[in-house]
Amino acid sequence: MGFLLRKKSQQGTVACRGRPLQKAVSTLVVCTLSVLFSSEMGSTQEHEPHQHHAHHGMHLDTAGMVMNENADQLPRGCPRLSGEHEITVRAGKEFAQPGTMFAYDRSEWSFEPCTKLTVTLINTDSVRHQWMLHGLPRYIYPQGMFTLEVAGKGQRTSTFILPPGDKTYLVHCDVPQHMEKGMKAQLKAGAGDGDLPSIPGVTGPRLQDPYTLAWNGWTHGAGVLFGIVGVLFVGRKLRLFP
């Protein structure tokens, strides 16, 4: 189809040069449309590898997925591994705190930079959950991510190596609304570089909801008092009272 459109485009270019005005206008439309179509098709072809995740080091089956496993390539700036650790993370509704729906059984981890970390994700729910860590160097980890995913109850294990430097990495489940509903955590390499907002049990939201007035006995009493004063004031003005 692209070939046909390009051919039309070439014909159109010739026509634009040689034909009368009305023909030239119609062929100009064909020229424009063909260029638009061919550029659209070109961009689709460019994005196809992303859709198929052809270069993400992905291991995928019906039960889950591992993306960007790296057990042996040292990130630049790491002279050697600083250590090797294994963690087990459970993910599911049963770990959610009041006000949330999903959670990991732990919200924070801390390791030395250049640590080789093996993560086992155990999903205790029947829905899909992920352990997705962001902010890694893209020359090893395409899109800067390392991801474990388990579709329903089950588990999956994989390994990656943290780069050098003190940094706080976001960990979350990328299934729509799961992070917003509580499945969010942070991993600190070294001292980290601060805390992330809305980490369950660790930090509050970036923007607080504006419920500044807490209703209790005192505020109720003050409200009643202001009401009485207001009624008396208006009553005096209207000469309802002596």
Binding site for Cu ion (CB under 5 A): 129, 173, 175, 178, 183
Q: Closest CB to Cu ion among 162 and 183?
A: 183
Whichever of 53 and 181 has its CB closer to Cu ion, that residue is 181
Q: Cα 103 to chain center, whole Å?
A: 15
Between 156 and 167, CB nearer to Cu ion: 156
Residue closer to Cu ion, measured from CB, 129 or 184? 129
**What is the nearest approach in angstroms of Cu ion to the Cβ of residue 173?**
3
Contact call for residues 129 and 173 (beta carbons, < 8 A):
yes
Burial label for 104, CB within 10 Å (0-12, 13-18, 19+), is buried
Q: What is the DSSP letter of 175?
A: S
Pairing of the two strands 128-133 and 146-151: antiparallel
Fill in the DSSP letter of residue 52.
Answer: H
Amino acid at 168: T
Smallest separation, CB 124 to Cu ion (Å): 11
Least gap, CB of 93 to Cu ion (angstroms):
10
Min dist. Cβ of residue 156 to Cu ion (A): 13
Q: Which is nearer to Cu ion, 170 or 175 (CB)?
A: 175
Q: How far is the CB of 87 from Cu ion (least distance, A)?
A: 18
Rounded least distance, CB 181 to Cu ion, Å: 9
Interatomic CA distance for residues 31 and 100, integer angstroms? 55
Of 136, 118, 125, 138, which Cα lies nearest the Cα of 66?
Answer: 118
E strand or H helix at 150, and its extent? Answer: strand 146-151
Nearer to Cu ion, 75 or 182 (CB): 182
Q: How far is residue 223's CA from residue 199's CA, in Å, rounded to a whole number? A: 36
Q: How far is the CB of 129 from Cu ion (least distance, A)?
A: 4
Q: 144: which DSSP letter?
A: G
Query: Using CB atoms, what's the residue nearest to Cu ion?
Result: 173
CA distance readout (Å), 203 to 99, 198, 209 = 14, 5, 14
- Name which of 56 and 129 has its Cβ closer to Cu ion: 129
Dist CA 35 CA 138 (whole Å): 34
